[in-house]
Amino acid sequence: MKIISWNVNGIRAAYKKGLVDFIKKENPDIICLQETKAFEEQLPEDLRNIEGYELFINPADPEVKKGYSGVAIYTKLKPNKVIKNKLGNKFSDNEGRILSLEFDDFTIFNVYFPNGGKSQEHFNYKLSFYDEITKHLTKLKSKTNVILCGDMNIAHEAIDLARPKENEKSIGFLPEEREKITEFLNKGFTDTFRMFTKEGGHYSWWDMKTRSREKNVGWRIDYFFVNNEIANNIKRADIMTDVMGSDHCPILIEWDK
């Protein structure tokens, strides 16, 4: 099973840059998109209906902000259940950040984590968002296999960004943020990319304003995490740095079910 995750920074913008051709060429079983910034009715017909795939889209509540956030999943597999904006019964989000699909033997969570940089309130929400994800997925993995993917807006370790020293006080690399990923992994989850690649220099996001992609001055803030029980069945985890069309590049895993 091949699964791709990509923050497209606008699904309609990515469409104009060849998103449909990319999906057809890569032919994943599931592709999760973040920061879609659109409602389903705003999508061109050939983006809404890609042959062989069912589309599930979860935009932000228009009362929050139009053209903001949003996640979507194209899947060849028919899910048993589709859940939007919720983690169990106790946490809900109205910014279109969470979309999960339940299948017979696993649940996939496509999540666009908050950036947290606008204010202290936003930063606190980011930390509590991580706490809720950790709490819910830790409980869930005792019942089914769990895959969490998306733009997590945190570089976990110094190896995950090109200039850690200069960014010690930057949002996305603060100690209290990085600790949230450590806490999550310690609950029984694996960072799939680090199973295969131990060295630095591999990033998934670059600041377009400074043209940092050309110099590979980036951050690895997009991840696939899986529960430890299935980690050994992940046969490949990669960052698709050659794919353009966004300030992020896609990431993928191949899972031998």
At 64 the pLDDT is 72
At 257 the pLDDT is 87
Active site residue 238: no
Mean pLDDT, the chain, whole residue set = 95
Question: What is the distance between the alpha carbons of residues 135 and 228, in angstroms, rounded to a whole number?
Answer: 16
Q: What is the mean pLDDT of residues 9-20?
A: 97
Say if residue 117's pLDDT is above 90.
no
CB neighbours (10 Å) of residue 164? Answer: 16
Specify the length of the chain in residues: 257
Domain with 153 in it? 2-255
Q: Binning pLDDT at 50, 70 and 90, where does residue 254 land? A: very high
Q: CB within 8 A of 136, min separation 6: which ones?
A: 87, 88, 91
Q: Which of 151, 160, 191, 222 is catalytic?
A: 151
| CATH classification of the domain holding 176 | 3.60.10.10
DSSP letter for each residue of 116-182 = --S-HHHHHHHHHHHHHHHHHHHHHTTTSEEEEEEE-----SGGGBS-TGGGTTSTTS-HHHHHHHH
Q: CB within 8 A of 21, min separation 6: which ones?
A: none
Q: CB within 8 A of 192, min separation 6: which ones?
A: 223, 224, 225, 226, 231, 234, 237, 253
pTM over 0.85: yes
User: Any idea which of 57-71, 113-127, 137-151 has the lowest mean pLDDT?
Assistant: 57-71
Say if residue 106's pLDDT is above 90.
yes
Contact of 40 with 48, CB cutoff 8 Å: yes
- Closest by CA position to 245, among listed 77, 33, 72: 33
User: Any idea which of 156-160, 174-178, 209-213 has the lowest mean pLDDT?
Assistant: 209-213
At 89 the pLDDT is 82
Tokens read off for 256: 């031998």
Q: Binning pLDDT at 50, 70 and 90, where does residue 90 land? A: confident
More confident residue, 92 or 229: 229
Contact of 162 with 203, CB cutoff 8 Å: yes
User: Any idea which of 34-38, 61-65, 164-168, 251-255 has the lowest mean pLDDT?
Assistant: 61-65
Question: How many domains would you assign to the chain?
Answer: 1
Question: Residue 60: what residue type?
Answer: A
Question: Residue 86: what residue type?
Answer: K
Q: What does the pLDDT look like over 138-172, one tens digit per residue?
A: 999 999 999 999 999 999 999 999 999 999 999 99
Q: What is the mean pLDDT of residues 53-66?
A: 87
Say if residue 66's pLDDT is above 90.
no
Q: Which helix (H) or strand (E) holds 147?
A: strand 145-151
Question: What is the distance between the alpha carbons of residues 1 and 235, in angstroms, rounded to a whole number?
Answer: 10
